[in-house]
Amino acid sequence: MSILEGGMEKGGHAIPLSINTLGEMRAVEAAPLLASMIDALISPGASLSLTIDNMSVCVPALVKIGKPGAAACLDEIVRLTPEDRQKPFKEKLLCLVILRVEGQKVARLLLEDRKEAVSKEKEQVENLDRAIALIEEVKSWGGLTRSTEEKGQQR
């Protein structure tokens, strides 16, 4: 985690560079932290008219990390608090990473499987139900998911 800590010491402009470097390095150990701060660097006036990659430097980093990045986002969805759900982009950005890494069908299956695994925890089930619904919304953000061809080349 020293790359991210070094970015924080050098000032705010170095943090996005540090996060990008973690993604380029495929730093699996950074995935949980990046997922937890996925919306931390969004400017207060951000809207969906901005490109998602410019809104959150964590999204492309987590996508580059791949399946461990998607798994960290799934874990973060399960842990969302009512306060987290009030943030306008956090859930959507977490779902977007899962969608970009796994594709729509697998993303939905992963969310539904996790929902079955946590079926006794009402708040976690609600978080996953919301995420399943958000997969459809996020999918409609045209051009924001990788094509099947790109996914095949990555694996």
What would the pLDDT profile of 57-95 be if each residue is shown by its tens digit?
Answer: 899 999 999 999 999 999 999 999 999 888 878 899 999
When pLDDT is averaged across residues 10-34 and rounded to a whole number, the result is 86
> Which pLDDT tens digit goes with each residue over 127-141?
999 999 988 888 776
C-alpha neighbours within 13 Å on the C-beta side of residue 139: 14
Domains of the chain, by residue range, sit at 2-154
**C-alpha distances in angstroms, 3 versus 7, 19, 97, 114?**
6, 8, 22, 32
Name the token pair of 72: 């960290």
pTM: 0.77
DSSP 54-108: HH-THHHHHHHH-HHHHHHHHHHHHH--HHHHHSSSHHHHHHHHHHHHH-HHHHH
Residue of 26 and 56 predicted with greater confidence: 26
Higher pLDDT, 16 or 60: 60
The percent of residues in the chain predicted with pLDDT above 90, rounded, is: 51
As a whole number, the mean pLDDT across the chain is 80
The pLDDT of residue 37: 92
Per the model's pLDDT, the better-predicted residue between 55 and 99 turns out to be: 99
Helix H or strand E segment including 150: helix 148-154
Res. 147 pLDDT band, cuts 50 70 90? very low
